[in-house]
């Protein structure tokens, strides 16, 4: 790869991803551009922050919002987010991508759904301010609750465990922007936000259900 001008190709590919669709083939072209960028990030992880600064993360979020009819493009973006979140979790968190992904969750195959939850686990504890939590985490909690109910109904204990870990990461993020000892009341208010969405009730119900099953076995 000596002499390969990655920056030159990187800028062109990002521009393809973020520009407005011009023809019926635009989504297909974006698909190949995202795939190329994902491969570049896989080979050169140091390129990730440059791509973030060039607008790739926000651009892919816009692409996701308009790609309902082209599931391959959405999956390509998710694979790219998986690379980005390893190097720069806050960028993925603040892009609004997770909410867009959850809206299409049912259309993805199981392998892609697992990839989505790995992304969420990476970003879960990277809300560094209360505004971050309120803007980017709270809106996805209803989707997480819905997924918890769905997975439990299907007997998918592993997924319920993964989602419960994500909720634990959300809780730990409170200690990043508030001190539990000095800002006890504010930390309590953050927990109240989680309680209001009913996620703890759902998890406790599943724990009770699994414990009863274990006793019977």
Q: Structural domain boundaries of the chain?
A: 1-107, 124-217
Q: Which of 4, 113, 31, 109 is nearest to 13 (CA)?
A: 31
Region for 5 from its dihedrals, namely left if φ exceeds 0, alpha if ψ lies in -120 to 50, beta otherwise: beta
How many CB atoms are located within 10 Å of the residue 208 CB? 10
Residue position matching structure tokens 């991508």: 97
Answer yes or no: are the C-beta atoms of 145 and 202 closer than 8 Å: yes
Question: How far, in Å, CA of 49 to CA of 67, rounded?
Answer: 25
Share of the chain above pLDDT 90, in %: 30
Residue position matching structure tokens 């521009």: 15
**From the centroid of its chain, how far is CA 171?**
17
| pTM of the shown model | 0.82
Q: What is the tens place of the pLDDT at every residue in 181-193?
A: 888 888 888 888 8
């Amino acid at each position: 790869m000596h002499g390969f001008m990655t920056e030159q190709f990187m800028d062109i590919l990002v521009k393809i991803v973020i520009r407005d669709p011009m023809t019926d083939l635009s989504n297909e072209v974006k698909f190949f551009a995202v795939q190329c960028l994902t491969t570049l990030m896989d080979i050169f992880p140091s390129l990730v922050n440059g791509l973030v600064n060039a607008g790739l993360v926000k651009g892919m979020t816009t692409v996701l919002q308009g790609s309902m009819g082209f599931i391959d493009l959405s999956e390509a973006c998710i694979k790219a987010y998986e690379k980005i979140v390893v190097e720069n979790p806050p960028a993925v968190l603040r892009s609004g991508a997770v909410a867009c992904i959850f809206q299409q969750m049912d259309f993805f195959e199981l392998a892609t759904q697992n990839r989505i939850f790995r992304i969420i686990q990476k970003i879960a504890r990277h809300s560094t301010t209360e505004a971050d939590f309120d803007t980017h985490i709270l809106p996805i909690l209803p989707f997480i609750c819905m997924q918890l109910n769905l997975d439990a109904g299907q007997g998918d204990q592993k997924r319920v465990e993964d989602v419960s870990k994500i909720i634990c990461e959300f809780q730990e993020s409170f200690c990043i922007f508030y001190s539990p000892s000095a800002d006890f009341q504010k930390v309590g208010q953050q927990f109240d936000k989680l309680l209001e969405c009913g996620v703890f009730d759902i998890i406790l119900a599943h724990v009770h259900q699994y414990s009863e099953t274990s006793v019977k076995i």
